[in-house]
Amino acid sequence: MKKTFLLFIMLFAFYAVKAQNENGTDANPYQKNNEIKLNLISPLFGAVEAGFERHLNKNSSVGISAFIVYDDKKNEDMNYYISPYYRYYFGKKYASGFFVEGFGAFTSIDGKKIYSADRLTFTENKDVYDVALGAGLGWKLVTKKGLVFEANAGYGRLLFNADKTDHDVVAKFGLSIGYRF
């Protein structure tokens, strides 16, 4: 009896999803909804940035990116940030074209630098952790083979510990290449 009931539930769910897709109220089940990306300009800042994005429907997606500094000489203040985001797309194709973005960021930034008379530099607070909120915009091109090309820029403000660092801004710039799967 339990097996028959379970089979009935599975068949009902299958036909409900199939009917929903045929009515056009759901996205194409064969549409590729995931992306991985690598920012090509982050090495200019002595860092690496990679991201993952999940498309919710034709016009919106959520994602997360991580920016990690490996060369302190090129990027003296930022240590890393982890940034979740939400995007809304205005393009005609699925999750592509012009987009606007709202993001948050958990950051690790070096503290204020104090310069002494004998030209020595001291850091007042070694690492300052903070949260930033911001907005951005960009443009995405997706090929038929699933290659993704993206350009974006964003601007955010630190919320809690900006007075303990030399700046209170988080800027995001990207020229990324990736793959949709």
Q: Which residue has the higher pLDDT, 125 or 85?
A: 85
- How confident is the model over 142-169, as pLDDT tens digits? 998 999 999 999 999 888 866 666 677 8
Share of the chain above pLDDT 90, in %: 46
Question: How many CA atoms lie within 13 Å of 178's alpha carbon, on the beta-carbon side?
Answer: 23
Residue 75 has pLDDT above 80, yes or no: no
Residue 82 has pLDDT above 80, yes or no: yes
Per-residue pLDDT band for 94 (boundaries 50, 70, 90) equals very high
Structure confidence at residue 179 (pLDDT): 95
- How confident is the model over 16-45, as pLDDT tens digits? 444 444 444 444 544 789 999 999 999 998
- How confident is the model over 101-121, as pLDDT tens digits? 999 999 887 655 555 555 555
CA pair distance 142, 177, nearest whole angstrom = 10
Structure confidence at residue 22 (pLDDT): 45
CB contact set of 76 (below 8 Å; sequence gap of 6+): 110
Structure confidence at residue 129 (pLDDT): 83
Structure confidence at residue 20 (pLDDT): 40
Q: Which residue has the higher pLDDT, 16 or 76?
A: 76
Q: Name which of 169, 171, 161, 46 is nearest 111 in CA terms.
A: 161
Share of the chain above pLDDT 70, in %: 69
Are residues 51 and 140 in contact, defined by beta-carbon separation less than 8 angstroms?
no
